[in-house]
Amino acid sequence: MSKTVVIKGGKIINHDGELRADVRIENEIVVEVGANLKGDVELDASGCIVTSGFVDLHAHLREPGKEEAETIETGSRAGALGGYTALVAMPNTDPPQDSVAVIDFVREQGKRAGLVDVIPSGCITLGRQGETLAPMAELAQAGVNFFTDDGFGVQDASLMRRALEYARGLGVTLAQHCEVAELTKGAVMSECQCCTDLGLPGWPAIAEELMVFRDIELVRITGATMHFLHLSTARSVDLVRAAKRDGLPITAEVTPHHLSLTQELLASYDSVYKVNPPLRSNDDIRALKIGLLDGTIDAIATDHAPHPRRDKEMSLDMAPPGMLGLETALGVVLAFGDLEIKDVVALLSWNPARIAKIDNAHGRPIAVSEPANICIFDPELSWSVDLQRLASKSINSPYVGRTLRGKVRHTIFRGTPTVIDGQAQK
């Protein structure tokens, strides 16, 4: 029989309210919530929030193919340290996640690492080439229910329409990376006065908004469920708000970096700030935050995008876009998101669990008989990133030298602590 774990002295935040109580876990399940509980392993949660483990809808784990940047094991460890108990693995691997063999491989590597549930997403198109649909039915049969070509948007409207029709029949969700490629050729930063001054090619907001608009209309005629990845502009939020008002089955996410960093940072010509979609303006940040508060945006997802130092050291036009996110998401959101703690938990755990359709095991209340996927965090602790101590294999974090607020103390995955006192357990 596995060891009994007790979480002592924390404040539980559940969907229906808060309470101060200890939590006892046995065999992967919460067995008691009450006062003065005892166990084989006792985790101090004083000053901490105890809530369901976080779920990331958007993690690039790079395996197979780019293990130099990250592996499923190192990415899972980074996730556990960030309070995550489930990660949706993005499909832009090499080979891409467009066959059952690769999906099974990713899932198995996730199980082998045993630190979080790794949920493989599937490609919408074969090889993410945007030309032919991936074998969506076969992938759905193999348990995939989240499809995306992330890194690219599906450019061909007729193909996207067909994908949505299949998705509706299969009962799966399509997640779009909204970028009209013709409008972003060679672009490295948001189109703004600053980019003109710097002489850098601009990335117009309309490149995102046109695809958001197109896909909302395609959802309207197909009835399929659609999720918008990493929205970054004020107008995108407006479009999604109106679509939701019309009752369309649409959800959307934003990243911690689009809530906290602005386009002017590119004036340093430091490629750590190059990301897709690009960092935007303060007005956009304000609109994204309003979207979070009024329910237009359902989730905060990291877009954790590790890249080897060698690649990020290339000139701004050549360096790949992307930043690390898993280990800093909570600290960034609490420091910069202007959100109540309960909203943060909803956006990092409950809502993404529902969108990924894993809310039978994640995003659950802390209550008797519920699965023990739990995050325990200190909401006040100030800290800053130490690149030497990141669990990720890459170091492209834009938060070095910035003070974050809120840190994970312990994470429990399937009843076993994966992180104790901020230290990964394996």
Binding stretches for ligand DOR (CB under 6 A): 60, 92, 150-151, 177, 275-276, 303, 305, 320-322
Starting from the edge strand earliest in sequence, which strands make up the sheet with 11-14, in order? 17-20, 11-14, 49-52, 374-383, 404-413, 416-420, 423-424
Helices (H), 273-377: 282-293, 309-312, 329-336, 341-345, 351-355
**How near is the Cβ of 252 to ligand DOR at its closest, in Å?**
15
Structure tokens belonging to residue 210: 């046109």
| Cis ω before 278 (30° cut-off from 0) | no
- With H, G, I as helix, E, B as strand and everything else as coil, classify residue 278: coil
| Cis ω before 64 (30° cut-off from 0) | yes
- β-strand partners of 26: 29
Query: What Å distances lie between residue 21 and 50, 54, 158, 387, CA to CA?
Result: 9, 20, 54, 35
Shorter beta-carbon distance to ligand DOR: residue 363 or 398: 398
Contact criterion met (CB below 8 Å) for 373 and 53 = yes
Shorter beta-carbon distance to ligand DOR: residue 326 or 339: 326
Provide the pairing of β-strand 416-420 with 423-424: antiparallel
56 among known catalytic residues: no
Contact criterion met (CB below 8 Å) for 251 and 275 = no
50: phi then psi, degrees, rounded to nearest 5: -115, 120
Shorter beta-carbon distance to ligand DOR: residue 66 or 364: 66
CA atoms of 330 and 348, how far apart (whole Å): 8
Query: In this chain, which residue has its C-beta nearest to ligand DOR?
Result: 322
Among 56, 150, 303, 378, the active-site one is: 303
Of the candidates 330, 302, 347, 338, the residue with the CA atom closest to the CA atom of residue 407: 330
Shorter beta-carbon distance to ligand DOR: residue 122 or 415: 122
Cα–chain-centroid distance for residue 78? 13
**How near is the Cβ of 101 to ligand DOR at its closest, in Å?**
21
**How near is the Cβ of 264 to ligand DOR at its closest, in Å?**
18
Shorter beta-carbon distance to ligand DOR: residue 319 or 408: 319
CA atoms of 23 and 21, how far apart (whole Å): 7
Shorter beta-carbon distance to ligand DOR: residue 150 or 208: 150
**How near is the Cβ of 409 to ligand DOR at its closest, in Å?**
29
Shorter beta-carbon distance to ligand DOR: residue 204 or 320: 320
213-216 contacts at long range (C-beta below 8 A, 24 or more positions apart): 213/239, 214/157, 214/160, 215/160, 215/176, 215/178, 216/240, 216/243, 216/248, 216/250
Q: Which residue has the tokens 């877009």?
A: 303
Residues marked as catalytic: 303
